[in-house]
Amino acid sequence: MAFIEVTLGSHMISHGYDTDNKVVAVSRIKSLSEKYILTDYLDGRWIYWEYAETFDEVKNKLVNPR
């Protein structure tokens, strides 16, 4: 499973995100905008996360995940 590291805004942390609120499983990402990442959440729900990096930085991480 591929992961990228991004700085997410504060929210309740759940399975799939590390304790520093930074690592997101690429497979959970549904959409990326200039300000938000849309990911899978609990019970089939989706959630928007605000991120600190630029759109191009996150896009490049998605193109070349670790």
Percent of the chain topping pLDDT 70? 80
What's the CA gap between 30 and 47, in Å, rounded? 10
pLDDT at 50: 86
Kindly report, residue by residue over 1-49, the tens digit of the pLDDT. Answer: 788 888 877 554 444 455 666 778 889 999 999 988 999 988 888 988 8
Query: Which residues constitute the domain of residue 16?
Result: 3-63
What is the number of domains present in the chain?
1
Cβ atoms of 34 and 55 within 8 Å: the answer is yes
Find all residues with CB under 8 Å of 66, minimum gap 6, and list them.
2, 3, 4, 5
How many CA atoms lie less than 13 Å away from 40 in the CB half-sphere?
A: 11
Q: What CA–CA distance (Å, rounded) separates 11 from 58?
A: 19
- Looking at residues 51-59, what average pLDDT do you find? 92
- Joined together, the tokens standing for residue 3 give 């992961």
Mean of all residue pLDDT scores within the chain: 81
